[in-house]
Structure 1
Amino acid sequence: METDDSARTDRAPSLADLARDAWSLTADRPRTLLGIAGPPGAGKSTFARALVEAVGEGAAYLPLDGFHLSNDQLERLALTARKGSEPSFDVRGYVALLTRVLDDTGHDIYVPDYDRTLHGPVSARHRVPPSARLVVTEGNYLACDLPGWRDARRLMGECWYVRAPAEVRQLRLIERKLAGGRTADGAAAWVATNDGPNGDLVEKSRERCDRIVSTIGMDMFNYRP
Structure 2
Amino acid sequence: MAQERDDRPQIDIAPLVAAAQGLLARPGRQVLAIAGPPGSGKSRLAQRLAAQLDDPPGRVAILPMDGFHYDDAVLHQMGRRPWKGAPDTFDLGGLGAMLARLRDPAEGAVAVPVFDRDLEISRGSARIIGPEARLIVIEGNYLLLDRPGWDRLRAGFDLTAMIEVPEDELHRRLLRRWQRHGLDEAEIAFKLQENDLPNGRVVAHESRPADLVLRF
Same fold (TM over 0.5): yes
- Helix, strand or coil for the counterpart of 2:144? coil
Residue 173 of structure 1 deviates from its aligned partner by: 0.9
Q: How many residues align?
A: 204
Matches of 2:113 and 2:18, distance apart in 1 = 27
- Give me the whole-angstrom Cα distance separating, in 2, the residues matched to 1:13 and 1:88: 29
SS at match of 1:25: helix
Cα offset, 1:207, TM superposition: 4.2
Give the letter for the 1:43 counterpart.
Answer: G
Cα distance in 2 for residues equivalent to 1:126 and 1:103: 18
Q: Which residue of 2 aligns with 1:97?
A: 98
Q: Alpha-carbon deviations, 1:50-105, whole Å to 9, x = none?
A: 11111113110000000000000001111112110000000110010011101136
In structure 1, list runs of 5 or more residues that go unmatched. Answer: 1-11, 217-225
Question: What CA deviation, in whole Å up to 9, does each residue of 1:16-72 have, x standing for no partner?
Answer: 542232121233330011000011111111101111111113110000000000000
1:197 aligns with 2:188: no
Displacement of 1:106 in angstroms is 5.9
Describe how 1:16-165 pairs up with structure 2 within 5 A: 16-56=14-54, 57=57, 58-104=59-105, 107-165=108-166
Letter in 2 for 1:181: G
Q: Tell me: CA distance 1:69–1:131, structure 2 relative to 1, closer, same or farther (3 Å).
A: same
Q: Percent identity?
A: 33
> Partners of 2:189 and 2:31 in 1: how far apart?
35
TM-score by length of 1: 0.84
> How far apart in 2 are the matches of 1:142 and 1:29?
24
Aligned mates of 1:126, 1:92 — CA distance in 2: 19
Q: Is the 8 A contact 2:16 2:212 kept in 1?
A: no
Q: Verify the 8 A CA contact 2:101 2:107 in the aligned structure 1.
A: no
- Contact 2:146–2:208 (CA under 8 A) maintained in structure 1: no
Is the contact made by 1:82 and 1:194 (CA closer than 8 Å) also made in structure 2?
A: yes
In the TM superposition, what is the alpha-carbon distance from 1:148 to its structure 2 partner? 2.1
Give 1:107 shift. 1.7
Q: Aligned pair in 2 of structure 1 residues 80, 134: CA closer, same or farther (>3 Å)? A: same
Contact 1:116 1:180 in 2 (8 A): no
Partner Cα distance (2:154, 2:169) in 1: 27
Is this contact kept in 2: 1:33–1:157, CA < 8 A?
Answer: yes
